[in-house]
Amino acid sequence: MKTNVGTLDRILRAALGVALLWLAFASGFAVMDASAPKWIAAAAGLVMLGVAAVGTCPIYTVLGIRTCKV
């Protein structure tokens, strides 16, 4: 797979991934005590971190979007 996620996009995705994982497991918000919101936030956070690490977004591939330099 070719890289289609640029540097700024990767940094923002990594920050969002960390924020979602914090929200799911360490925030202490009452809404996160329920099982579904906690695991949805955790899954989304892991996906964001994975895309940031690999540099390839499957949705960008389908839509033909590139945020990195050619």
- The predicted model gives 47-62 an average pLDDT of 95
Phi-psi label, residue 45: left if phi above 0, alpha if psi -120 to 50, beta otherwise: alpha
- CA distances from residue 62 to 26, 57, 65 in whole angstroms, order as listed: 34, 9, 8
Any domain includes 69? no
Give the whole-angstrom CA distance, residue 70 versus residue 49.
23
Structural domain that includes position 55? 7-63
Any domain includes 2? no
- Determine what percent of the chain is predicted with pLDDT higher than 90: 84
Give the pLDDT confidence score for residue 33 in this predicted structure: 87
End-to-end CA distance of the chain: 14
Give the pLDDT confidence score for residue 1 in this predicted structure: 77
Any domain includes 45? yes
pTM reported for the whole predicted model: 0.88
Any domain includes 47? yes
Give the whole-angstrom CA distance, residue 25 versus residue 9.
24
| Number of domains, the chain | 1
Any domain includes 36? yes
